[in-house]
Amino acid sequence: MSGFTRARLWHDSLAGYTLRAATAAALVIDAIVHFQDAHFYDANTGSLLDQGQLFRIQGVAAIAVAVLVLVWPRWQSWLLAFLVAASACAAVVTYNYVDVGPILGLPNMYEPSWGPPGKMVSAWAEGIGALLALIGLIRALAHRRAASGQRGTTARLAAPEHIPSR
């Protein structure tokens, strides 16, 4: 069985489907919470965007990447899923404990409480989603490397030997 076939089978295996579905579910939970809570933060404005708009952008990004992971499970999709989930998790944890202040026209999003509806659920979903996406990324890159290594071996075996001219 060639490496490409083996790598392709992983995408179609039960483990592959489960990892994709769980990652997408975590991203969808993140998106739902951001969409539901965005209106609470519309008044918190910066010079570029208000916090409600940032929440909506995060929600759209999470949905788009969730769909991408489900329909096109390549290393690029896993990388985007990791970046979306990990950045959201880092932001919610950081802004809960550190008063960063406004950055580059974005509002000050410091909120020292886990009380707002869905905040804890979203943080857990983002953290778990980031971990799952990282696992998917590592596996996709490992299978890609194995597939390209085996294709290269096959090509070297099939290629004629170089015979120096006399």
- Evaluate whether 108 touches 50 at the Cβ level (below 8 Å): no
Q: Where are the domains of the chain?
A: 3-153
Crossing angle of helices 75-97/14-37, nearest 10°?
40
Reported for 51-57, long-range contacts at CB under 8 A and 24+ positions apart, including other chains, are: 51/107, 51/109, 54/106, 54/107, 54/109
Of 107, 85, 76, nearest in space to 31 by CA: 85
Q: Residue 154 above 50 pLDDT?
A: no
Q: Residue 6 above 70 pLDDT?
A: no
Indicate the range of 34-38, 46-50, 97-101, 139-143 predicted with least confidence. Answer: 46-50
- In the chain, the N- to C-terminal Cα span, in Å, equals 40
- Per-residue pLDDT tens over the stretch 52-96: 999 999 999 999 999 999 999 999 999 999 999 999 999 999 999
- Per-residue pLDDT tens over the stretch 90-120: 999 999 999 999 998 889 999 999 999 899 9
Indicate the range of 4-18, 29-43, 53-67, 122-136 predicted with least confidence. Answer: 4-18
- Evaluate whether 81 touches 133 at the Cβ level (below 8 Å): yes
Q: pTM for the full model?
A: 0.82
